[in-house]
Structure 1
Amino acid sequence: MPRTAKTTPIERELQEICRQYQVDILYAFGSRAKEALAMLRGEIDTLSDRPSDLDIGAKPNRAASWGVWDKVGLAQDLEDLFHIHRVDLVSLADAGPYLAAEIIAGERLFADDSYLADEYDLYIWRRVADHEFLEKERLRHVLRIAS
């Protein structure tokens, strides 16, 4: 969050949640990402009253060993923080390259280290590029066999 403004109370609470669950980077993505960022920055008080959930992507730190209950706890704490009925939580450690790219293209809500978070974003984009190249090669091979 490269801003010079003061940290808002909700940002401090999010930082505490992320440290509690050993989250290195937290993103909001999907239809409510910008709204979540605006709430975090104090630009709005609450998310709009829509039935859609809030999609969150989290990168755990290397020391974290998230079990099911850790993920449930993190999702519930984020639901309470954003006053929303449902958070869909995706661990970036479990996401494929395209989902990971969708997540990092959203809004970064927290980074324990901004430089390392930027490096991680670049790693994800490289993963997508590598995957696309390999997929094109695979399709060429399949088409060559089929003909």
Structure 2
Amino acid sequence: MSDASRPAVVEFLARYRSVCEVGVGRRPGVAAALADRGVDARATDVAPRDVPDSVRFVVDDVVDAAARDDPGDVYRVDAVYALNCPPELHRPLLAVARAVDAACLFTTLGGDPAAVPATPVTVPGDTVYVARDPDGRAAGGADESERP
């Protein structure tokens, strides 16, 4: 799904003051749109990427970040999220979010299920999975401590 068709995801994520998109790839549109709305937008990827000046970018691997005692400053935000996140990255994404006490949100690749306990929240044209919501900002999302 292209960034241009994700205005509902931008709207959903805009409830956070600061966010970090993990695995931004070649589509920084959501992070850029959030920065345009005044959100402190950050992004990571395993390779250098071109992102707008309004988005703080750091080369990092979320798997490595999850294994560190301190994932790093780029992840110290209100919400860590990933778009089209493959199942093998759901656990590291959640581990990083836990380590910095951030919300953990992601979309999947089509039919991929969430590989961690998560509440699906339907937004127009997409589904955002809420795996962690410590501040209760994600509509329909439950804090992980409320899950069985």
Scaled by the length of structure 2, the TM-score of the pair is 0.31
Q: Which structure is richer in relative contact order (CA contacts within 8 A, separation 6 or more)?
A: 1
Question: Normalized against structure 1, the TM-score is what?
Answer: 0.31
Larger helix proportion of the pair: 1
